[in-house]
Amino acid sequence: MFDRLQKKWKVSGLQVILILCTFAIGGSLTGLLGKKIMNLLDIDTRAVWIIVYIILVTLIWPMAVLLISIPFGQFRFFTGYLKKMGKRMRIIPGGSERTREKSNQSKKFRIAIYASGAGSNARKIIDYFRNSESVDIALIVCNKPGAGVLAIAARENIPSLLIEKERFFRGDAYLVELHQCKIDFIVLAGFLWKVPDTLIRSYPNRIINIHPALLPAYGGKGMYGHHVHSAVIAAGEKESGITIHYVDGHYDNGDIIFQAKCPVEPNDTPDALAKRIHALEHEHYPRVIEKLVASIA
C-alpha cells in the first residue's frame, strides 16, 4: 500500500508519511470542530442532526487539512489534491477528472535533467514541479555511476539514463532515448560534460544551464564548483552570483537568461561562498524554468 501511494501521488517515501499524518490530524480536527459546533446548535431531531453534521464536516475538512499541511510542508500537495477533488465532484469547472488528466498529459512539458553529482538542484526542481499541471520531470540523465542524483531518481520513480562518453560525443548523443521519452526541454543541473552539437541541433534554444558565477567572467572549461569560487575569491571580487543561460557549442557561452548576485565577504572561503551560491540556485532555477516553459508552450 505504501509503495502504491508513493507511485500514485508521485512523492518520496517521507512525503507519503507526512501526507498521511496530515490526513489523520486534519480528519481528527474536523471531527472535533464539527462536534463542538453541533453542541452549540439546538437540534433535537436525530435525522436532521446527522444531515447538518455531514454538511458541516464536509465544509470544515478542506480547511482543516490545508491548515495542518502548512507545518508538515505539504501545502502545495494538498492544494493540488483538493483542486482535483473539486473537479472530480464537479464543484470546480473543468470537466471529468479522466478527461482533465488526458488533457494535462497532452499539454505537459516533458523535461530531462542532466546532472553529474549529488543532485541538489535536481532535487529542488523535482520538488517545485511535483504537482505541476504543465511540467513533468520525465527523465534524469547522468554520466557517473553511483552519483547521488541517480538515488534521487530512484526514490522519485523517475526514469534515469546512465550515459557513456563514446556514444554521447561521437554517436547519436542518446537522442533515441530522449525521443522515446518525448523530451521537450533539457535542464543542465551540475552536468560537467560539454554538450555535443548533435544534441544542441536537436534541441535549439531548449537546453539551459546554470553557472555558479556572473558570466561572462569565470566561465569556460574546468570552471565549475569550487574552482569557480576559488577564482572569484582570489581575484578579490566584491560580489558573485549565478547565471542561467542557453547552451551553445562553447562552454558557458550561450545567451544569458537570468542572473542573481550575492556578496563575497571578507575572509570568505570557497565553501562559505558556495553555500550562498547554492541558495541562489535553489531559489531561482525552478522559477526561471517555469517561465521559459510558459513562454514556449
- Catalytic residue (one of 211, 227, 229, 278): 211
- The amino acid present at 216, given as its one-letter code, is P
Residue 291 to residue 297: CA distance in whole angstroms: 10
Please give the distance of CA 42 from its chain centroid, rounded to a whole number. 50
Active site residue 245: no
Task: Report the C-alpha gap between 41 and 81 in whole angstroms.
Answer: 32
Which DSSP helix (H) or strand (E) runs through 273?
helix 270-296
- Which residues does 72 contact at the CB level (< 8 Å), separation at least 6? 18, 19, 21, 22
CB neighbour list of residue 166: distance below 8 Å, 6 or more residues apart: none
User: How many residues make up the chain in this entry?
Assistant: 297
- Cell numbers that stand for 88 in this block: 472530480
Which strands make up the sheet holding 185-188, listed edge to edge? 160-162, 135-142, 109-115, 185-188, 207-211, 239-246, 256-263
Q: Is the dihedral of CA 68, 69, 70, 75 positive or negative?
A: negative
CA 247 to chain centre: 21
Strand 239-246 and strand 256-263: pairing? antiparallel
- In three-state secondary structure terms, 217 is coil
Helices (H), 136-269: 148-155, 165-170, 175-180, 197-202, 226-234
Instruction: List residues with catalytic annotation.
Output: 211
